[in-house]
Amino acid sequence: MSKEIEDHRDLNPGTNEPFASVLERHVSRRSVMRGGLGLAAASMLGFGGAAQALASSTSHEKTPLGLAFESIAGSRSDAVVVPPGYTAQVLVPWGTPLSEKASAWRDDLAMTAERQAQSVGMHHDGMHGFPLDEASASRRFVLALNNEYIDQQALWAPQGGPTNAEEGARPAEESRTEINAHGVTLVEVVKEGDGRWSHVPGSPYNRRFTSATEMELAGPVAGSAYVRTKFSPEGRLTRGTNNNCGNGFTPWGTYLACEENWPNIFVNTGERFADDARIGIPTQRGRYGWETSAGDPSEANDEFARFDITPRGADAREDYRNEARTYGYQVEIDPYDGSRRAVKRTALGRFRHEGCWLGKLEPGKPVVFYSGHDARNEYIYKFVSAAGWDPADANRPGAAYDRLAIGAKYLDEGTLYAARFDADGSGEWLPLTPLAKSRDGRPLHEALGLAADDQAGIIIHTCDAADLMGATPMDRPEWASVDPASGEVYITLTNNSKRTAAGSEATFTNGGGAIDEPGVGFATAPVNEANPRPDNGAGHILRWREVDDGARFAWEVFVFGAAAADADNRSGLTEANQFASPDGLWYDDRGDGQGILWIQTDNGYEGVAEHTNDQLLAVVPAALEGGVVTPETQQHLKRFAVGPSGCEVTGIFATPDKTALFINIQHPGNWPAAEDATTATQGKVRPRASTVVIQKQDGGPIAV
């Protein structure tokens, strides 16, 4: 999630052992010497016991892939900075018209609900490209990108800002426009003969999915009493997707938009479901106050009233008490078929999904997806399909067939697991099923007060189920990525601002409600060898590999974020590659069992922020001795790009031929000034989140 909209409450009421404590014992068992850079020795970062297989998996007899650029200096300018010999182009910024009839962008353009519904949404995040045919896959495709949230000041700049942002009734037209600025954008893009990229206005593939678009529910929750509403008494439909952060894509050619900070758009001022409190539904006012536009003469079909989930009717079919229960899922979209609704795949769990990442794909074996719940002291999840992978279901670009039916085959039936990390470097996947044995020995359904066959109830209460099973609370798990050859999984743990000094005790709190009130869960956790800083802002990246047919896994710390000057710079980072708050992550497979791990940041850690804006770094895991970043392997971790001031660098993929790297620049402070993303802004501009295409001037593959 962007730090701009982080929910600062702790919402986990459980007492499961936090990952910080697990990691402390894991490190201590290896008798690591304390203090200085000795702490970052390979003996600390490598494995013992069950994890030895992973440590040896990174050794290659072949010459490792090399990064053919020098690490660039940090920057604090209003421009994108890339290495010499590279270009960076702004593509489809917020407000770009998708139709030929929509108004062209200008800096003083007054946005309307209708115009926004026909234009690229706001604050680009996760994205992926879907080729329209194999021959032109690296030159023409449908770009699917998440529009995570809105900057009200930029959106309403021509009128001086939003109306009644903090109190009072919001004008219906403003609420409607903001609703249309969220969601997902699909837009056809092409590479011209001169190497520049452009979008195709009026393309039949151009679409918007907003916080008002009608969508289907599928999987265990669909049709259950948990999701019946006045809008959909049968519990089969909902409206909108919101705060989509990280993304995913499927091998059958569909896009996954992941609902993350959706709870804050709702409000409940009355009796609350237990899951409302656990997941963080506000009790006074929604983040944007859309519910206050209810009753406006222009309101259609309770378009604003639905955001107030306070029970008012005789049962759920007379109000919107269940509306929030239709959110919190992975949303599957067919980018090729404009006639199809998006589908919310409930079997993959209900929480604040950061993303959805495909595991190693093997014929006949289940399809696996990983996801993190991006909040302090929340969990990492895995979904395993009931159906084995059939290569005949692989995407056929340009062909017309029912991709969402294939999605139903793999995503509507399967098992959801939560991760427990053990101190010996091993871990276990804990099934979230009604008959699974919880920590106290009871069946999970009984511990949750549910019927023995109520898988829908388990999904609605995903977070509580993970608590009861004994999953390990983590430091804000965000993006993950998978090496498709080895199946090794990397995941960013961005930060945890509730770390306390050595010797202090973990504390817990109960409360919650309004956005600015404390929630429930772990209030503090003491520092340890893996998280040695009070008010830890630097974060780290984990790696694991599945063992025992996927029932268990082996894990290690891949790299610790830090400022170069930190006394506890555990991975030995230098001024050339120091980073903190790792967020976006992508394993760029280059074949032959090798690839580049790209790391993006959403940093608020002053030790790094005073030297550079948010950034994009590259590392070749196969080139690292022992497979992890140490003081001796700094030459393999390099800063590749830096974003403009105020931004987060996020969203990433490359064309199949690896000649164009796409990233997103979210919430810039004063950018872009020109189509050339490297042009520094002079004066003031209306900031616009944008996709940026980075290419070599000679047209060769990126980074190597």
In this predicted model, what pLDDT tens digit does every residue of 345-393 receive, in sequence order?
999 999 999 999 999 999 999 999 999 999 888 899 999 999 999 999 9
CB 143 within 8 A of CB 121: no
Tokens of 56: 């040896």
d(CA 523, CA 425): 26
d(CA 85, CA 695): 9
* Antiparallel, parallel or unpaired: β 343-345 and 214-218: parallel
Dihedral of the alpha carbons of 529, 578, 603, 473, in degrees to the nearest 10: -20
d(CA 230, CA 240): 15
Greater pLDDT, 9 or 196: 196
Quote the pLDDT of residue 520: 34
Please, which pLDDT band fits residue 425 given cuts at 50, 70 and 90?
confident
In this predicted model, what pLDDT tens digit does every residue of 595-621 receive, in sequence order?
999 999 999 899 999 999 999 999 999
HSE of 372 in the Cβ direction (CA atoms, 13 Å)?
Answer: 29
Quote the pLDDT of residue 533: 56
d(CA 576, CA 596): 18
225-229, 271-275, 512-516, 549-553, range with the lowest pLDDT = 512-516
* Residue 439, amino acid: R
* Antiparallel, parallel or unpaired: β 648-654 and 637-642: unpaired
Q: Is the pLDDT of residue 325 over 60?
A: yes
Q: Please provide residue 363's backbone torsions phi and psi, each rounded to the nearest 5 degrees.
A: -55, 135
Angle, CA of 268, 212 and 107, to the nearest 5°: 110
d(CA 293, CA 153): 19
Q: Please provide residue 157's backbone torsions phi and psi, each rounded to the nearest 5 degrees.
A: -55, -45
Please, which pLDDT band fits residue 18 given cuts at 50, 70 and 90?
low
The residue among 654, 676, 672, 675 whose CA lies nearest residue 663 is 654
In this predicted model, what pLDDT tens digit does every residue of 162-203 receive, in sequence order?
999 999 999 999 999 999 999 999 999 999 999 999 999 999
Bond before 672 cis per omega within 30 degrees:
yes
Angle, CA of 54, 56 and 60, to the nearest 5°: 120
In this predicted model, what pLDDT tens digit does every residue of 19-65 receive, in sequence order?
555 555 454 433 332 222 223 323 333 444 434 445 445 444 678 89
Task: Name the pTM for this structure.
Answer: 0.92
Distance, first Cα to last Cα, the chain: 30
The residue among 157, 125, 287 whose CA lies nearest residue 667 is 125
d(CA 132, CA 583): 30
Quote the pLDDT of residue 472: 84
* Residue 17, amino acid: E
- Once rounded to an integer, what is the mean pLDDT over residues 439-468? 96
The residue among 356, 336, 457 whose CA lies nearest residue 410 is 356
**Continuous H helices in 351-461:** 403-411, 444-447, 455-460
List of residues 6+ apart from 459 with CB closer than 8 A? 219, 220, 221, 346, 347, 349, 350, 416, 432
pLDDT averaged over every residue in the chain: 89
